[in-house]
Amino acid sequence: MGEATVRARHSLAHGLAGGARDAARRLKKQWRVAIARWRRRRAKAKVIGITGSSAKTTTAELLAHILGTEGAVHKQTKGNTLKPLIHALSVLPRDADYAVMEVAAGKSSMAEMAALLRPDITIVTMVADEHRSIFHGADAVAAEKQWLVQSLSPAGLAILNADDTRVMAMGAASAGRVVTFGRGEQARYRVSDIHAAFPKRLTMRLDWPGGTLSLRTRFIAEHFWLPVAAAVAAAIELGLDPECVCERVARFEALFSRCGVLEVPDGPTFLIDSTKAPLHSLGLAFTALDQADAQRKRVVLGHISDYAGKAGATYRRAYRQARGVAQETIFVGDHAHRAAASDDDRASGRFREMRSVREAADHVRATRRADELILIKSSSNLHLERIGLALTRDVQCWEDVCGQTRNCISCGKFGVPFERHAEIRVAEKRARRWWRRCRVSASRSASR
């Protein structure tokens, strides 16, 4: 048999095997979607779908926290694409009172997710220029997110940001009722008297047809008025007592890597915003630092996402903004050189360029002061939160790009060298399988 024939047969066998695997994956997905649809139909829960370019996770977590006083809440905020949504619906308890689901435009089709979710209430926080490789502009982002509003039935409710013209335009696509929130006079839930200057936390006033609420929160920056207003509007529209809503809002702690606060004994204090860094969010983070009350301020900036134009211009602009609010700016990662800081800034220590996260952590440890406030801002891939964690925990994982989308606290493996993570994941997977077998066995025994 000739060598060419052997290669052809191997290629054919490989192709057939690959085709069989693809068919198996498609059947598995179809089965999971069918289970999710069945669970959605049988559930009594009010299903709330939340989308937006920013603030959707905080809105979802805060709303779930508020609704927890009134009934059982099932939530999905750890992932916002089709696969996590399918899983969340597949395990939706029949007796849950509320289901709070975060849904994002991007790799998954919003139309497909909306058809599967069939929300009773849709919340849209804002629209910005994101996922540029997919959408090429904010108008296309808005068109994609609108599918969630279009999926509402006549009995449904759309809660929209009145300050965002693209979001407001979605109201015309809603078959259900539309309620708005925002700072403008036209908003049904109108926000005013917004104040925050860390360590003082966010306070705001909310006027609505039923009265006025004075809201006190644990958030550290003024721009968090948006998720607070969205969540409060949804809770009141669902019939919750406004005073109870105020109490729940006051108790809610910001998520760790979304402008969370990490206080180190004997200093410094970190403001950790290391989950997302779209260009439109940098100014908000820098404003929060500028308004804060601290003797010394530093910025640690990693990767920036979702920007138009060249990277060099974007990082230079970011450095100018950071320089205006901090005594020292540290750029971390393979874009650090793009800051184009002056020789004087480099010589004086006003600017630091560091390629690795560990290098930046060692510098902060060596130069830390008790009276300083350090803002950490980056996309999640660098996991810059380790800079703060290293001052309070034994961090052993210093891989610059580990591939995990969860923050280091959620991952839980920051105390283990990265090269051991794979074996730990295998062990965790085996433990989950064993636990599932135990549950199935117990269930069968109980049914006999």
User: Given this model, what pLDDT does residue 402 score?
Assistant: 87
Task: Assess whether 80 and 208 both reside in one domain.
Answer: yes
Residues paired with 272 in a beta bridge:
260, 376
Give the Cα separation of 294 and 287 in Å (integer): 14
Give the Cα separation of 287 and 155 in Å (integer): 41
Residue 213 Rama label (left phi>0; alpha psi -120 to 50; beta): beta
- We report the CATH number of the domain holding residue 263 as 3.90.190.20
Contact by Cβ (8 Å): 370, 267: yes
Q: Which ranges of 238-351 does DSSP label H, i.e. alpha helix?
A: 242-251, 279-291, 311-323, 343-348
Strands (E), 274-371: 296-301, 328-332, 351-354
Contact by Cβ (8 Å): 256, 264: no
Task: Assess whether 232 and 281 both reside in one domain.
Answer: no
Max CA separation in the chain (angstroms): 87
Considering its fold, how many domains does the chain have in total?
A: 3
Report if residue 199 sits inside a domain: yes
Give the Cα separation of 167 and 230 in Å (integer): 13
Task: Assess whether 366 and 305 both reside in one domain.
Answer: yes
Mind listing the pLDDT tens digit for each residue in 183-223?
999 999 999 999 999 999 999 999 999 999 999 999 999 99
DSSP for 292-305?
S--SEEEEEE---B
Mind listing the pLDDT tens digit for each residue in 66-96?
999 999 999 998 777 888 899 999 999 999 9
Mean pLDDT of 297-315: 90
Task: Assess whether 426 and 309 both reside in one domain.
Answer: no
Task: Assess whether 201 and 271 both reside in one domain.
Answer: no
Q: Residue 108 to residues 77, 80, 206, 272: CA-CA distances in angstroms?
A: 16, 9, 35, 28
Least confident of 162-171, 215-224, 386-395, 425-434: 425-434
Which of 251, 274, 298 is the last residue in one of the domains?
Answer: 251
Query: What amino acid is encoded at 273 in this protein?
Result: D
Task: Assess whether 159 and 299 both reside in one domain.
Answer: no
Contact by Cβ (8 Å): 385, 257: yes
Q: Would you place residue 432 in the very low, low, confident or very high pLDDT band (cuts 50, 70, 90)?
A: confident
Contact by Cβ (8 Å): 130, 55: no
Task: Assess whether 224 and 319 both reside in one domain.
Answer: no
Give the Cα separation of 275 and 64 in Å (integer): 20
User: Given this model, what pLDDT does residue 26 score?
Assistant: 78
Report if residue 18 sits inside a domain: no
Task: Assess whether 137 and 235 both reside in one domain.
Answer: yes
Spatial CB neighbours of 42, under 8 Å, sequence gap ≥ 6? 94
Report if residue 91 sits inside a domain: yes
Q: What is the pTM of this model?
A: 0.88
Task: Assess whether 430 and 382 both reside in one domain.
Answer: no
Query: What amino acid is encoded at 181 in this protein?
Result: F
Report if residue 394 sits inside a domain: yes
Task: Assess whether 436 and 403 both reside in one domain.
Answer: no
Query: What amino acid is encoded at 111 in this protein?
Result: A
Give the Cα separation of 120 and 50 in Å (integer): 11
Spatial CB neighbours of 229, under 8 Å, sequence gap ≥ 6? 181, 182, 189, 191, 204, 206
Report if residue 321 sits inside a domain: yes
Residue 354: which domain range? 258-416
Mind listing the pLDDT tens digit for each residue in 87-138?
999 999 999 999 999 998 766 688 999 999 999 999 999 998 666 556 677 8
Give the Cα separation of 127 and 114 in Å (integer): 17
- Closest among 125, 406, 99, 65 to 258, alpha carbons compared: 406
Report if residue 12 sits inside a domain: no
Task: Assess whether 283 and 395 both reside in one domain.
Answer: yes
Give the Cα separation of 305 and 277 in Å (integer): 6
Contact by Cβ (8 Å): 300, 332: yes
- We report the CATH number of the domain holding residue 167 as 3.40.1190.10
Report if residue 407 sits inside a domain: yes
Which of 206, 225, 251 is the last residue in one of the domains?
Answer: 251
Which of 223, 251, 279 is the last residue in one of the domains?
Answer: 251
Task: Assess whether 328 and 246 both reside in one domain.
Answer: no
Report if residue 224 sits inside a domain: yes
